Amino acid sequence: MTRPVRFEHYRWLGDKRGMTVHDLDATVDDCGIDELMQSEQFAAFGPDRLAEARNRGYHACRHCVRSEASD
């Protein structure tokens, strides 16, 4: 799966609809990234870290975020 062009410099991509965060280094079809980009209900994080996403209330996508993922 290709990385969304506008997120080529980011690793973590949030989905505001389900409050999930995806690891763009490991996304799979089940993540629905293409559909998420079309919906425009996505979010980037600053700093671009899993911990920052979690601080904002996002939970890790079970398809692409490894439980011990480092950020």
Smaller CB separation from Zn ion, 6 or 35: 35
Q: How far is the CB of 33 from Zn ion (least distance, A)?
A: 7
Total residues contacting Zn ion by CB under 5 A comes to 5
When asked if residue 64 is in the footprint of Zn ion (CB under 5 A), the reply is yes
What is the C-alpha separation between 22 and 36, in angstroms, rounded? 11
Where does residue 7 rank: exposed (0-12), middle (13-18), buried (19+ CB within 10 A)? middle
Cα→Cα distances 17→9, 36, 60, Å = 22, 9, 14
When asked if residue 49 is in the footprint of Zn ion (CB under 5 A), the reply is no
Smaller CB separation from Zn ion, 46 or 62: 62
- By CB under 5 A, name the binding residues for Zn ion: 22, 31, 61, 63-64
